[in-house]
C-alpha cells in the first residue's frame, strides 16, 4: 500500500427531493482511497453508504436526487464535473461497481457471454474472439467450473453464488483501478458469503485493484478491510485503519456497533447489547450531532452543533464532542 | 422448448372441442330453427326435411356426424340463404376480414410500440402527454363512435375519402384507410400504454443499473438491454388484441359496409341463421386459437427462461 | 484485537420519546389514507372522480330533474337542432330554411301561396300551443323526443349495467380466484383450465349468439356480459392470493392459530383489495362499452328504452343531416368513459407502492 491516493472524496453532498421534504442522504462525506487498499464503509440502513458510492460514478437518478456539492477527485480530475460521455469511459473500465442482488443485476434475456464481452469490447477494443477468450479467462479466475461451456448460458441457469462470481469476473475484466462493491454478500448464504469475500480479496490482491466495500456487517469488515469509514445519518463519524478502530473505537456509535457483535470467546454476561433507538429520519435534521438521542454520553453541546473532527494520529479521526477541547 | 410447444398445442384441443360442442348445442337447441319462420308444412314434407338434415337421428349420432363434418371442413348449409352452403359464404367473406384484421393488427403493433417506447424515453415531456392522451382516447371511445366520427369528418365533411365499399373495380386501396385506422385505434392505444409502462419498469430494474455502471452508451442500453425485456408483455397482449380485432370487424364492417365475415355475423344473428352463425364462430375461434398458439410460441422463443429450462 | 468488556446498557435510562427523536416517522398510515393522499395530487384522476360523481348524481336524480320524459314525442318537433330558444321558433326557422332550399332547387325566388299559408299556420299554432315553448337544449331525435332526456335516461341504463355487471363479475371473480389461489392443486388446475378455455373464445361473439337466442332484454344482456367478464379478475385475484399465501405474515398468523377463514378475510383480502378496486374500476367502462356495442348492433336494449349504444346507433344513421343526434350521446358516453379511465389509472398509481416519491 503506497501513499498515493487514487480517489479523494471531499465534502460530498447528495440530496433527494421527496414529497416529505429534502432528504440529505449524503451530507459532507470525505475520505481517501489509496492504491490497492480495501476501504470499508459501514453503517445502518439509511446512513447514506450506497448513495455515496452511486454519487462517485454519477449514477444518482435525477430527479429526484441531485449531487449538490463536493468533489470526487480521481487522479487529477473531478468526476462530478465530467461530461457524461467521459464518465462512461471510466465506468466499467477504470472504476467498476457490483451490486447487492446478483439475481436481478444481470440481464435475464442476454447470455453471460454477451454481457461480459460488451464491456471488454467497448473499453479495451478487442475483437469478438479475443474478448470471448478474455471473458472465459476471467470466469475461470472467478472459480466458475467449465467456463468455456458456461459462458454461453443465461443468468437463470446459475445459482446465486455463481452469479455473484460472474458479476465479479465481469467487473474485473477490464482491470479497473477501483472496484466498488455495494453489499456484495448480503443476499447470499453465509457459507457462500465467505467464499465470495475470499474470492474478492484474492483477485483484487492479484490485480492490484483498490476496493470500496459497503456493508452493514462488522464481521465482513474485520476480515477484509484495511481501512474503515463509519457512516451515520449521511456523514462519516469515524475513520481510520481497521485495526486502530477495533482496538480503540472513539465514537460512541462505533463503540456501540462493535459491542453489538456477539462474541463466542467471551462468556456471555446477560443480554445481548444493542444500540437503543432507531436510525434517524434525515429530513430536516436540525443543527446538532444526529446521534445524540441514542448516545449514552450525550452532552448539552451535542444538541446544538455538529461536532468537530478530531484527529488521533495515523489517519484515525472521529467527529465527537467528547474529544474536543472547545465545549 | 419442444415440450413447451407440444404442451401449448395440446391445450388447444379442449378449447376447440368445447366450441364445436357449443356450436352443436346451439344449433339444435335454439328456438326458431330453420323451419319456424316458414308456414306450417304437411307432416310428410316435415319428415323429409328432418331426414335430409339428419335431425331425426338420436343426438349422439347427430353429434358424431356433425363432428365429422366439421373435421372435414364442411360447415353445413345456410339456413337462410337456401342456395348456398356456409362454406361458400365464408369463403367469400373471410379473405376480406382477414385482410382488414391483419392490417389493423400490424398498424396497431408498429405504431403502438413506437409511440410507447418514445413516450417512455421522454417521460413527462409534451410528447409523453400528447401520445398518452391520444391513447386514453383510444381506449375510452368505442369503435362505433370513432368509426362514424372519422367517416363524418374525412368522408363527408372533408370529402377526402370515399364513404364506403371495398376494393373492387371502382375503388383501390384507398378504401382501406378509414376502416383500418378505426379498427386499429383501440389496440394501438392499449399497446402504446402497455409498452410505455413496460419500458419504464425495465428502466427501473437492477440490470439496467448494471448496464449503465459498465459505461455502455445510452443507445446500447436501450436497444440491447431494455427492449427485449420490455417487449414481452406486449407480445402476451397480442392474443387478446387479436380477439378484440375479430370482434371489432363486426362493427367496422357494418359502419363502412364492407362485405366481410363480421357483417355476415350480425345479419345471421338477427336472422337466426344458426348454421351461418356457428360456421362463423368456428372459423373465428380456430383462427383465434391458432393465433394464441403462435403468440405463445413466439413468447417462448423470446424469453430464455422458458426456452432454456 | 481486543474488544471492550460487555456492559449492560440499561443505565441512565432515556425516555423512549427522547430516544426516538429523530427516528423515522412511526405514525401508522393505512394503505387507504396514503393512497387517498396520492390520489388527491393527481389532477386528472380527481377530475375523473368529479365527472363520474356528477354523472351518477344526474342519472340517479333523473326522475326528479326538470327534463321532459324520454318517451314524450312531439312529432312536429322532430329533428330540431340544439338551441336555448323555444322550440316553436327553432321549428319555424328550420322549416323555413328547408323551404328556401327547396325553392332554390326549383329556381324560384319567392314562396308560393301554399308555402306562405303553411308558414302562417305554423306561426299561429306557435302562439297557441304551449308545447312550442319547450326548450330542447340538446335538440331532438327523429320522433321529436328530447335528446337531453334520452341521453340522461340512456346513461341510466348504461351506467346501471356497468355498475351491476361489474359488481357481479367482481364477486364471481373474487370467489373463484381466491378459491383457486388458496386451495391450489386440482381445484386450482380445474378452475384455471376453465378460465383459459373461456379466454380463448371470442367472447363477444358468444354474447351476440346468446342475445340472438334468448331474446333482447336488459337482464339477458347483462347476464351474458357478466358471464365472461370475471375471467381477468379471477386470474388477478388468484395471482395475488398465491403470492400472499406463502408470505411471512400469513405464516405468522397461522402459527398463532388463525383459522383459514380468518386468514382469508382479515389478512389476504385487505391486501388484495387494492388490486381488486383498480381492476373493478376499469371493468365498468368495459361493461358499458360491451353493452353499447350490442345495442349498437341492435342486439341490446330495444325501443322505447334507450342506452347510450342504441342512441349512437340511431345517430349514426342520421349523422349526415342531423349530426347532433350522433354527437350528443357519443360525447356524453365518451366523457364518462374517459373519466372512469382516468380515475382507474389514478387509483392504480395511488395504490401502487412503487411509485412513491415521483418527483
Per-window interface: A 158-217 vs B, CB < 8 A: 167, 170
Residue C217 predicted with pLDDT over 80: no
Same domain? C156 vs C97: no
Predicted confidence (pLDDT) at residue C70 exceeds the cutoff of 60? yes
Q: State whether C284 and C344 are in the same domain.
A: yes
pLDDT at A252: 86
For chain A, say whether C1 makes contact (Cβ under 8 Å). yes
Give the mean pLDDT of C332-339: 90
Number of A/B CB contacts below 8 angstroms equals: 76
Separation of alpha carbons A131 and B284, rounded Å: 52
Q: What is the pLDDT of residue B29?
A: 66
Cis preceding linkage at C304, omega within 30: yes
C104 occurs within a structural domain: yes
Which residue in C4, C18, C24 is closest to A281 by CB distance? C24
Q: Which residues contact A108 (CB under 8 A, 6 or more apart)?
A: A154, A155, A156, B207, B229, B304, B305
- pLDDT classification of C15: cutoffs 50, 70, 90: low
Cβ of residue A92 closer than 8 Å to a chain B Cβ:
yes
CA distance C312 to chain B (A): 7
Closest residue to A269, CB basis, from C6, C14, C24:
C6
Tell me whether residues B277 and C292 touch, CB distance under 8 A.
no
**Considering CB atoms only, which of B207, B215, B302 is closest to A105?**
B207
C287 touches chain B (CB under 8 A): no
The interface predicted TM-score (ipTM) is: 0.83
Specify whether C96 is located in the same domain as C224.
Answer: no
Read off the pLDDT of residues C295-315 as tens digits, 9 standing for 90 and up. Answer: 777 777 776 778 888 888 888
Q: What is the signed CA dihedral for C129, C133, C135, C141, rounded to 10 degrees?
A: 10
Residue range A154-190, pLDDT digits in tens = 998 898 889 999 999 999 999 999 999 998 888 888 8
B156 touches chain C (CB under 8 A): yes
Q: Which whole-number Å values give the CA distances from A262 to A215, A223, A229, A265, B177, in the listed order? A: 18, 16, 21, 9, 75
* B113/B106 Cα distance (integer angstroms): 11
Non-local CB neighbours of B141 within 8 Å, separated by 6+ positions: C334, C337
What's the pLDDT band for C201 if we cut at 50, 70, 90?
low
Q: Do B272 and C212 touch (CB under 8 A)?
A: yes
User: Which pTM was predicted?
Assistant: 0.78
Percentage with pLDDT > 70 across chain C: 80
Q: Burial, C298: exposed, middle or buried (Cβ in 10 Å; 0-12, 13-18, 19+)?
A: middle
Pairing assessment for the beta strands A235-241 and A309-311 based on DSSP bridges: unpaired
* Position C136 pLDDT exceeds 60: yes
Across the interface, whether the CB atoms of B305 and A118 are under 8 A apart is answered no
Which residues of chain C does A18 touch, with a Cβ-Cβ cutoff of 8 Å? 357, 359
- Provide, rounded to the nearest whole percent, the portion of chain A with pLDDT above 90: 25
**pLDDT for residue A104:** 87
- Residue C124 C-alpha cell reads as 299561429
Average pLDDT in the C234-249 region? 74
Across the interface, whether the CB atoms of C21 and A293 are under 8 A apart is answered yes
Cβ contact (<8 Å) for C25 and A281?
Answer: yes
Going by the DSSP 8-state scheme, the letter that residue C247 receives in this structure is S
Describe the crossing of helices B2-10 and B274-302 by its angle, rounded to 10 degrees. 160
- Interface A–C counts its CB contacts (< 8 A) at 73
Beta strand pairing status for A65-74 and A95-98?
unpaired
Domain that holds residue C106: 83-133
| Higher-pLDDT residue of A133, C13 | A133
Q: Where do the CATH 3.40.50.300 domains begin and end in chain A?
A: 5-94+178-189+206-323
Residues in chain A with CB shorter than 8 Å from the CB of C9 are 273-274, 276, 296
Which residues of chain A make contact with C6, given a CB cutoff of 8 A?
Answer: 259, 266, 268-270, 273
Quick check: A236 and A29 in contact, CB under 8 A?
A: yes
Higher pLDDT, A179 or A258: A179
Helices (H) and strands (E) in chain C, counts: 14, 0
Query: A195 CA to chain B: closest CA distance, Å?
Result: 22
Q: Which residues does chain A have within 8 Å of residue B207's beta carbon, measured at their own beta carbons? A: 104-108
Chains that touch A (3 or more CB pairs under 8 A): B, C
CA B81 vs. chain centroid, Å, equals 26
List residues bridging with A15 in a β-sheet: A66
Among B256, B263, B293, CA closest to B171? B256
HSE, side-chain direction, 13 A CA sphere, residue C56: 13
Least confident of B122-131, B175-184, C130-139: C130-139
More confident residue, A214 or C27: A214
Domain identity same for C214 and C186 = yes
Q: Are A72 and A55 in contact (CB under 8 A)?
A: yes
pLDDT at position B156 is 67
Report how far residue C24's alpha carbon sits from residue B89's, in angstroms, rounded to the nearest whole number: 72
Chain C contact for B13, CB < 8 A?
A: no
For chain C, say whether B265 makes contact (Cβ under 8 Å). Answer: yes
CA distances, A252 to each of A28, A196, A291, A318 (Å): 20, 31, 9, 10
The answer to whether position C74 is within a domain reads: no
Q: C-alpha cell of B180?
A: 383500418
The pLDDT of residue C31 is 67
The residue of C45, C209, C231 whose CB has the most chain B CBs within 10 angstroms, and thus the best one to mutate to test that interface, is C209
Identify whether residues C184 and C332 lie together within a single domain: yes
**Inter-chain residue contact B216 with A118, CB threshold 8 Å:** yes
Nearest chain C residue to B281 by CA distance is C205
Residues of chain C found within 8 Å of residue B254, distances taken between Cβ atoms: 297
> Chain A, 278-297: which have a CB under 8 Å from a chain C CB?
278-281, 285, 290, 293-294, 296
Mean pLDDT of the B33-52 span: 63
pLDDT at C22: 64
Cell 371470442 belongs to: C202
Q: Please give the average per-residue pLDDT across C251-271, as a whole number.
A: 68
Does residue A1 register a pLDDT over 50? no
pLDDT at C266: 65
Enter the CATH code of domain A5-94+178-189+206-323.
3.40.50.300
> Given CB atoms, is A269 within the 8 Å cutoff of chain C?
yes
What is the phi/psi pair of residue A237, to 5°? -95, -25
Residues forming a β-bridge with A91: A95
Q: Is B73 in CB contact (< 8 Å) with chain C?
A: no
- β-strand pairing of A5-18 with A65-74: antiparallel
SS3 B202: helix
Per-residue pLDDT reduced to its tens digit, C247-260: 666 677 777 777 76
Residue A237 reports pLDDT greater than 60:
yes
In this predicted structure, the answer to whether residue B159 has a pLDDT above a threshold of 50 is yes
A18 touches C at CB < 8 Å: yes
Chain B residue with Cα closest to C332: B141
- Cβ distance of A270 and C8 shorter than 8 Å: yes
A300 touches chain C (CB under 8 A): no
- Mean pLDDT for A231-259 is 88
| Residue B1 CB contacts under 8 Å (≥ 6 apart), including other chains | B300, B301, B306, B307, B308
**Structure confidence at residue B44 as a pLDDT band (50, 70, 90):** confident
For C105-123, the pLDDT digits (tens) are 877 777 777 778 878 887 8
C192: contact with B, CB 8 A cutoff: no
Give chains near B: 3+ CB pairs under 8 A.
Answer: A, C
Q: What is the pLDDT of residue B83?
A: 60
Q: How confident is the model at residue A214 (pLDDT cuts 50, 70, 90)?
A: very high
Q: Is residue C334 domain-resident?
A: yes
- The larger pLDDT score, comparing residue C339 to residue B268, is at C339
| pLDDT tier, B35 (very low <50, low <70, confident <90, very high otherwise) | low
- Clarify whether residues C119 and C189 are in a common domain: no
C326: domain CATH number? 1.10.3720.10
Specify whether C296 is located in the same domain as C166. yes
C10 inside domain: yes
Asked if C292 is an interface residue toward chain B (Cβ–Cβ < 8 A), one would say yes
Q: What value does the mean pLDDT take over residues C52-61?
A: 89
pLDDT greater than 80 at residue A262 = no
* Across A135-150, average pLDDT: 91
What is the predicted pLDDT for the residue at C289?
83
- The Cα B163–Cα B146 span in angstroms is 14
Does the pLDDT at position C355 exceed 70? no
Pairing relationship of beta strands A309-311 and A317-319 according to DSSP bridges: antiparallel
Q: Which of the pair, C211 or C286, is modelled with greater confidence?
A: C286
| Residue of C208, C315, C338 lying closest to B140 (CB–CB) | C338
* The pLDDT value given to residue C353: 54
Residues C247 and C199 in one domain: yes
**Does A255 touch chain C if contact means CB atoms closer than 8 Å?**
yes
Q: Which residue has the higher pLDDT, B33 or C188?
A: C188
Residues on chain C touching A249 (C-beta within 8 angstroms): 4
Burial class of residue B204, CB neighbours in 10 A (0-12, 13-18, 19+): exposed
- The fraction of chain C above a pLDDT of 90, given in percent, is 1
Cα separation, A288 vs A304, whole angstroms? 5
Q: Give yes or no for residue C10 having a pLDDT over 50.
A: no
Residues 3 to 42 of C: which have CB under 8 A from any A CB?
3-9, 11-12, 14, 18-25
Q: Average pLDDT, stretch C34-48?
A: 79
Show residues of chain B in contact with A99, CB under 8 Å.
206, 209-210, 213
Chain C residues with CB under 8 Å of B243 CB are: 202-203
The answer for A 153-212 residues in CB contact with C (under 8 A) is: none
Assign A17 to helix, strand or coil: strand
Burial status of residue A226 (CB atoms within 10 A of its CB: 0-12, 13-18, 19 or more): middle
Please give the C-alpha separations between residue A100 and each of A179, A260, A289, C30, in angstroms, as whole numbers: 14, 24, 30, 30
- Shared domain for C298 and C254, answered yes or no, is yes
Q: Answer yes or no: are the C-beta atoms of B182 and B147 closer than 8 Å.
A: yes
- What DSSP line would sit under A218-251, residue for residue? HHHHHHH-SEEEEEETTEEEEEEEHHHHHHS--S
C275 and C351 together in one domain = yes
Q: Chain C residue closest to A244 (CA)? A: C1
Q: How many domains does chain C have?
A: 3
The pLDDT tens digits for C141-198 are: 888 888 888 889 888 888 888 888 888 888 888 888 878 877 777 888 888 877 777 7
pLDDT, greater one: A210 or A267: A210
Closest to B303 measured CA to CA, from B238, B241, B228, B240: B228
Amino acid at each position: 500500500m503506497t501513499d498515493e491516493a487514487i480517489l479523494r472524496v471531499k465534502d460530498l453532498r447528495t440530496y433527494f427531493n421527496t414529497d416529505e421534504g429534502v432528504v440529505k442522504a449524503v451530507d459532507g462525506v470525505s475520505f481517501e482511497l489509496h492504491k490497492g487498499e480495501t476501504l470499508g464503509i459501514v453503517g445502518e440502513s439509511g446512513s447514506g453508504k450506497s448513495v455515496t458510492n452511486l454519487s462517485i460514478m454519477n449514477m444518482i437518478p435525477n430527479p429526484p436526487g441531485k449531487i449538490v456539492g463536493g468533489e470526487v477527485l480521481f487522479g487529477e480530475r473531478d468526476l462530478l464535473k465530467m461530461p457524461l460521455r467521459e464518465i462512461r469511459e471510466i465506468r466499467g473500465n477504470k472504476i467498476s461497481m457490483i451490486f447487492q442482488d446478483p439475481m436481478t443485476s444481470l440481464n435475464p434475456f442476454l447470455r453471460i457471454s454477451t454481457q461480459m464481452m460488451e464491456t471488454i469490447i467497448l473499453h479495451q477494443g478487442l475483437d469478438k474472439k479475443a474478448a470471448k477468450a478474455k471473458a472465459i479467462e476471467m470466469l475461470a479466475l472467478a472459480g466458475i467450473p467449465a467456463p468455456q461451456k458456461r459462458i454461453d448460458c443465461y443468468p437463470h441457469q446459475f445459482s446465486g453464488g455463481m452469479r455473484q462470481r460472474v458479476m465479479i469476473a465481469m467487473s474485473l475484466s477490464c482491470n479497473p483501478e477501483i472496484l466498488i462493491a455495494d453489499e456484495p454478500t448480503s443476499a447470499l448464504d453465509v457459507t457462500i458469503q465467505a467464499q465470495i469475500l475470499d474470492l474478492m480479496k484474492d483477485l483484487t490482491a492479484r490485480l492490484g485493484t483498490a476496493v470500496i466495500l459497503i456493508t452493514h456487517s462488522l464481521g465482513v469488515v474485520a476480515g477484509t478491510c484495511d481501512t474503515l469509514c463509519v457512516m451515520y445519518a449521511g456523514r462519516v463519524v469515524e475513520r481510520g485503519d481497521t485495526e486502530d478502530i477495533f482496538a480503540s473505537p472513539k465514537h460512541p456509535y462505533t463503540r456501540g456497533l462493535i459491542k453489538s457483535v456477539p462474541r463466542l470467546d467471551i462468556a456471555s454476561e446477560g443480554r445481548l447489547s444493542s444500540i437503543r433507538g432507531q436510525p434517524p429520519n434525515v429530513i430536516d435534521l436540525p443543527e446538532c450531532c444526529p446521534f445524540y438521542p441514542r448516545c449514552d454520553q450525550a452532552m448539552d453541546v451535542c444538541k446544538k452543533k455538529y461536532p468537530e473532527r478530531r484527529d488521533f494520529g495515523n489517519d484515525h479521526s472521529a467527529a465527537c464532542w467528547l474529544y474536543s477541547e472547545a465545549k | 422448448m419442444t415440450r413447451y410447444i407440444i404442451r401449448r398445442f395440446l391445450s388447444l384441443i379442449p378449447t376447440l372441442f368445447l366450441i364445436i360442442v357449443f356450436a352443436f348445442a346451439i344449433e339444435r337447441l335454439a328456438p326458431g330453427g330453420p323451419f319456424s319462420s316458414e308456414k306450417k308444412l304437411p307432416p310428410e314434407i316435415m319428415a323429409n326435411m328432418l331426414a335430409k338434415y339428419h335431425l331425426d337421428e338420436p343426438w349422439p349420432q347427430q353429434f358424431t356426424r356433425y363432428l365429422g363434418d366439421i373435421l372435414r371442413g364442411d360447415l353445413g348449409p345456410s339456413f337462410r340463404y337456401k342456395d348456398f352452403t356456409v362454406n361458400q359464404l365464408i369463403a367469400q367473406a373471410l379473405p376480406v376480414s382477414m385482410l382488414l384484421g391483419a392490417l389493423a393488427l400490424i398498424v396497431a403493433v408498429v405504431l403502438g410500440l413506437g409511440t410507447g417506447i418514445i413516450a417512455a424515453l421522454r417521460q413527462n415531456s409534451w410528447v409523453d402527454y400528447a401520445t398518452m392522451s391520444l391513447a386514453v382516447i383510444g381506449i375510452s371511445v368505442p369503435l362505433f363512435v370513432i368509426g362514424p366520427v372519422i367517416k363524418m369528418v374525412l368522408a363527408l365533411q372533408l370529402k377526402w375519402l370515399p364513404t364506403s365499399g371495398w376494393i373492387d373495380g371502382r375503388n383501390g386501396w384507398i378504401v382501406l384507410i378509414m376502416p383500418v385506422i378505426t379498427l386499429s385505434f383501440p389496440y394501438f392505444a392499449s399497446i402504446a400504454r402497455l409498452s410505455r409502462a413496460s419500458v419504464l419498469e425495465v428502466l427501473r430494474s437492477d440490470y439496467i443499473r448494471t448496464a449503465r455502471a459498465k459505461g455502455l452508451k445510452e443507445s446500447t442500453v436501450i436497444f440491447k438491454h431494455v427492449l427485449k425485456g420490455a417487449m414481452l408483455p406486449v407480445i402476451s397482449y397480442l392474443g387478446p388484441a387479436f380477439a378484440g380485432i375479430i370482434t371489432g370487424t363486426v362493427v367496422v364492417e357494418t359502419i363502412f359496409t364492407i362485405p366481410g365475415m363480421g357483417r355476415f355475423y350480425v345479419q345471421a344473428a338477427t336472422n337466426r341463421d344458426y348454421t351461418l352463425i356457428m360456421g362463423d364462430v368456428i372459423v373465428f375461434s380456430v383462427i383465434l386459437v391458432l393465433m394464441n398458439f403462435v403468440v405463445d410460441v413466439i413468447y417462448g422463443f423470446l424469453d430464455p427462461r422458458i426456452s432454456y429450462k | 484485537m481486543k474488544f471492550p468488556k460487555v456492559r449492560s446498557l440499561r443505565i441512565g435510562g432515556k425516555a423512549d420519546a427522547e430516544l426516538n427523536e429523530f427516528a423515522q416517522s412511526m405514525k401508522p398510515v393505512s394503505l387507504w389514507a396514503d393512497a387517498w393522499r396520492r390520489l388527491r395530487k393527481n389532477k386528472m384522476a380527481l377530475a375523473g372522480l368529479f365527472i363520474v360523481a356528477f354523472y351518477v348524481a344526474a342519472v340517479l336524480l333523473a326522475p326528479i330533474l326538470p327534463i321532459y320524459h324520454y318517451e314524450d314525442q312531439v312529432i312536429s318537433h322532430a329533428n330540431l337542432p340544439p338551441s336555448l330558444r323555444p322550440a316553436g321558433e327553432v321549428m319555424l326557422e328550420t322549416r323555413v330554411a328547408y323551404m328556401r332550399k327547396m325553392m332554390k332547387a326549383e329556381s324560384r325566388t319567392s314562396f308560393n301561396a301554399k308555402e306562405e299559408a303553411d308558414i302562417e299556420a305554423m306561426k299561429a299554432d306557435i302562439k297557441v300551443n304551449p308545447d312550442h315553448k319547450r326548450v330542447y337544449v340538446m335538440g331532438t331525435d327523429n320522433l321529436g323526443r328530447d335528446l337531453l332526456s334520452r341521453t340522461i335516461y340512456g346513461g341510466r341504463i348504461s351506467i346501471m349495467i356497468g355498475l351491476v355487471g361489474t359488481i357481479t363479475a367482481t364477486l364471481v371473480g373474487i370467489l373463484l380466484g381466491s378459491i383457486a389461489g388458496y386451495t391450489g392443486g386440482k381445484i386450482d388446475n380445474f378452475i384455471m383450465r376453465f378460465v383459459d378455455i373461456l379466454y380463448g373464445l371470442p367472447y363477444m361473439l358468444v354474447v351476440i349468439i346468446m342475445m340472438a337466442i334468448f331474446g333482447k332484454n336488459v337482464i339477458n344482456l347483462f347476464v351474458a356480459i357478466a358471464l365472461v367478464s370475471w375471467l381477468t379478475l379471477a386470474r388477478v385475484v388468484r395471482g395475488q392470493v398465491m403470492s400472499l399465501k406463502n408470505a411471512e405474515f400469513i405464516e405468522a398468523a397461522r402459527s398463532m392459530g388463525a383459522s383459514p377463514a380468518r386468514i382469508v378475510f382479515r389478512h389476504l383480502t385487505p391486501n388484495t383489495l387494492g388490486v381488486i378496486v383498480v381492476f373493478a374500476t376499469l371493468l365498468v367502462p368495459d361493461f358499458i362499452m360491451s353493452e353499447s356495442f350490442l345495442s349498437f348492433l341492435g342486439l341490446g336494449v330495444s325501443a322505447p328504452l334507450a342506452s347510450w349504444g342504441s342512441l349512437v346507433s340511431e345517430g349514426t344513421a342520421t349523422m349526415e343531416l342531423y349530426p347532433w343526434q350522433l354527437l350528443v350521446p357519443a360525447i356524453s358516453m365518451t366523457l364518462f368513459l374517459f373519466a372512469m379511465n382516468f380515475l382507474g389509472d389514478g387509483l392504480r398509481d395511488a395504490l401502487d407502492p412503487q411509485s412513491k416519491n415521483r418527483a
